[in-house]
Structure 1
Amino acid sequence: MRYLVLGAGALGGYFGGKLLKGGADVTFLVRPARAAQLKRDGLVVNTQDGEIRTRVKTVQQGQLDGTYDVVLLCCKAYDLMDAISAIAPVMDEQSVILPFLNGIRHIDVLTERFGPQRVLGGLTVINAALMPDGTIQQSELRINITAIGELDGRISSRCTAIKMALEAGGIPVQVSDDIVAGMWMKFFGFTCNATIACLSRSRAGAIASSGAGESFVSAVLEECTRAATAEGYPPPPDTAGIIRGIFSQPNSTFGPSLLIDMEGGRPTEGEHTIGDMMGRATRRGVNVPLLSAALCNLQAYEINRSNPR
């Protein structure tokens, strides 16, 4: 199968690097600056199990050659519309998009544009960051879960083939018969973590060490549980315990990607995650003051970021 990975940032570089390690045919669709960096230095991914350092094939928008069997969408959620424009020329009737975006509403956008038969569901909780020197660093947090699946729940040969390609490179993959429910679980966890980190502007260790940290985490969990349950996707019983565990380790340097983006002065996915969860809760009549406070915080951050003093 011929793979196109949109973006060679943290997740795109991680998944693309692992696919290359397993022997897959991979091309990265990247912007000019990243293309030049990759040409000069190659792709470098520091994983929990060692370094991947390899030369890669890159293309830029307008230079795409033919069609691809699988398009891995690993961009930020706020880049979705630009990504759709970029990948449209390489999609034929047999091509399939596998998105690993945060949130859930991108599925509706993609299926409306390309049809449900050309869109898979995907989720990952692999935590990685693109460093200033262009290398990709996987975090110390060992919750390495990746799942893919057909939106209608059937087990398909194309999902099996993608699973084999990723596992050949060292990424364990579950083919799910209810990927949408799995994506909601990820959406719930991401929103909880992002809300906690956004309102505190802190990594997990500082929150764990604070006197009010435990009760604050519990309050966010309770509010997000009510919001997700109102939409018909109550989180599994063990999810809250996992999140509490993340924010109970005083020495932890873990921070969700939204916090890392804020620390770097970059745009965030707040509107597409926290904002989406808050909007869904509001439409269902669920009161979510912490999500509202987090969204206000992020909107103010974007205003201040765009208008520095």
Structure 2
Amino acid sequence: MLMPPMQSQSYEEQAMKFAVMGAGAVGCYYGGMLARAGHDVVLIARRQHVEAIQRDGLRLDTKSFDEHVRLSASTEPSAAEGADVVLFCVKSTDTDSAALALKPYLNERTLVVSLQNGVENAERLRELLPQEVAAAVVYVATELAGPGHVRHHGRGELVIEPSSMSEEVARTLSAASVPTEISDNVRGALWAKLVLNCAYNALSAIAQTPYGRLVQGEGVTRVMRDIVDECLAVANADGVTIPGDVDAAVRGIAQTMPNQYSSTAQDMARGKRSEIDHLNGLIVRRGEALGVPTPANRMLHVLVKLLEAEREKR
């Protein structure tokens, strides 16, 4: 059934317009949740995806509901014109090109929120855009199950760094059933997420295996231990304070998202270029710069790059 947006927010919150640049699985989930709560949302995505959403609405297939949500969708960055907030969800490899395509259509008061993997994207956006940029850490398990169909496997919370609009955005997202908090240590939280990605993404991609089965493989948890130790050593040398219990967080991923394939695995299965250069590859580069050995991360980075090169030949 095609559901109209829920009218549950105050007038001030309803007046906010959101644009989602790079509306893949992550962007569609958050954009869909905002639209379902009654907000003005436009998804900027690939043509096949956009056509399905324009025809049928966005199918939000979650653990608690399965609905088609009516919202706008476009293939053009110009659709972001007039947005109060842009959720910037493109792959790290496309940050520069997407930012420059978006730039002419943003007003001076637009807040750009980077919902991307890696730890360098927000800084890069600040170099490319005059608008205020806030980094965010994303904890959600989603996949595109087909054109116009996002499937949610678990979690969904966000951590955003302080900005002039962060409190309003956090309230709006939380009211849309997206738990959101503001943190002064988003850099550390981004590194914590990076460690999780380095531990799981490449291994899930190489084996094309979801997290729950992956950790049951012979020797996998020992390899993950090596990966995490290298990441923590690089972070320490780089002056990064990572919050929380990293080891517990690594163990928890397989428990809370047992059926999830990593984004790198999903990219490779579709023949798309992955973000491996911004995950294990970043650990290798920072390790080289700081004099920290990273052999486990280097091996995973090389293996994924080799697999990508082979797929490009087919």
Q: Same fold (TM over 0.5)?
A: yes
Matched-pair identity in %? 25
State the match for 1:127 in structure 2.
Answer: 141
Shift of 1:231: 1.3
State the match for 1:271 in structure 2.
Answer: 277
Asked whether 1:180 is paired with 2:187, we answer yes
Cα distance in 1 for residues equivalent to 2:201 and 2:234? 15
Cα distance in 2 for residues equivalent to 1:196 and 1:213? 9
Shift of 1:194: 1.7
> Per-residue CA shift, 1:19-74, capped at 9, x if unaligned?
11222111122233222111122101112221231122123326437422111111
Larger deviation: 194-203 or 126-135?
A: 194-203
Asked whether 1:289 is paired with 2:281, we answer no
State the secondary structure of the residue aligned to 2:276.
Answer: coil
Mapping 1:98-177, distance limit 5 Å: 98-115=113-130, 118-139=132-153, 141-142=154-155, 144-150=156-162, 156=164, 158-177=165-184
Mapping 1:243-282, distance limit 5 Å: 243-247=250-254, 252-282=258-288
Shift of 1:200: 4.6
Asked whether 1:39 is paired with 2:39, we answer no
Where does structure 1 differ by over 6 angstroms across 4 or more consecutive aligned residues?
none
Shift of 1:279: 0.4
Shift of 1:274: 1.6
- Aligned letter for 1:287? P
State the match for 2:10 in structure 1.
Answer: none
> Per-residue CA shift, 1:157-192, capped at 9, x if unaligned?
x11111122112110100112222222221222222
Question: Is residue 198–residue 294 contact of structure 1 (8 Å, CA) maintained in 2?
Answer: no
Asked whether 1:3 is paired with 2:18, we answer yes
Shift of 1:260: 2.3
CA distance 1:182–1:245, change in 2 (3 Å): closer
Cα distance in 2 for residues equivalent to 1:98 and 1:83? 13
Cα distance in 2 for residues equivalent to 1:21 and 1:292? 42
Shift of 1:95: 1.0
CA distance 1:138–1:27, change in 2 (3 Å): same
Cα distance in 2 for residues equivalent to 1:125 and 1:281? 25
Cα distance in 2 for residues equivalent to 1:181 and 1:214? 24
- Aligned letter for 2:200? N
Cα distance in 2 for residues equivalent to 1:214 and 1:62? 42
Length-normalised TM-score, structure 2: 0.87
Cα distance in 2 for residues equivalent to 1:234 and 1:82? 31
- Unaligned stretches of 5+ residues in structure 2: 1-15
- Aligned letter for 1:145? E
State the match for 2:7 in structure 1.
Answer: none
Cα distance in 1 for residues equivalent to 2:218 and 2:312? 34
